[in-house]
Amino acid sequence: MTFYTYTYLKGGQTDWRLIKIVIIVALALAFLFFLVMYARRKWDRKFKDLAIILGTLLLLAAAIQYSDFTNLRTASVQSGQLTVVIEKSAAKLDVDPRTISINDTSRNNDMIIKTPKGYYTLVFNSSGSEFLLEKADLYKPDITVIGE
User: DSSP labels for 88-115?
Assistant: HHHHHHTS-GGG-EES-SS--SSEEEEE
- Give the pTM: 0.58
* CA-CA-CA-CA torsion sign (86, 10, 140, 117): negative
Calculate what percentage of the chain has a pLDDT beyond 70: 87
Q: How much is the average pLDDT of 127-141? A: 79
Domain hosting residue 87, numbered range: 2-146
CA distance 16 to 3: 22
Q: How many domains does the chain have?
A: 1
| 52 HSE (CA, 13 A, CB side) | 5
Distances from the Cα of 121 to the Cα of 35, 62, 107, 124, angstroms? 60, 41, 13, 10
pLDDT of residue 76: 61
Q: What is the pLDDT of residues 86-110, one digit of tens each?
A: 888 888 888 888 888 888 776 777 7
What distance in Å separates the CA atoms of residue 81 and residue 9, rounded to the nearest whole number? 10
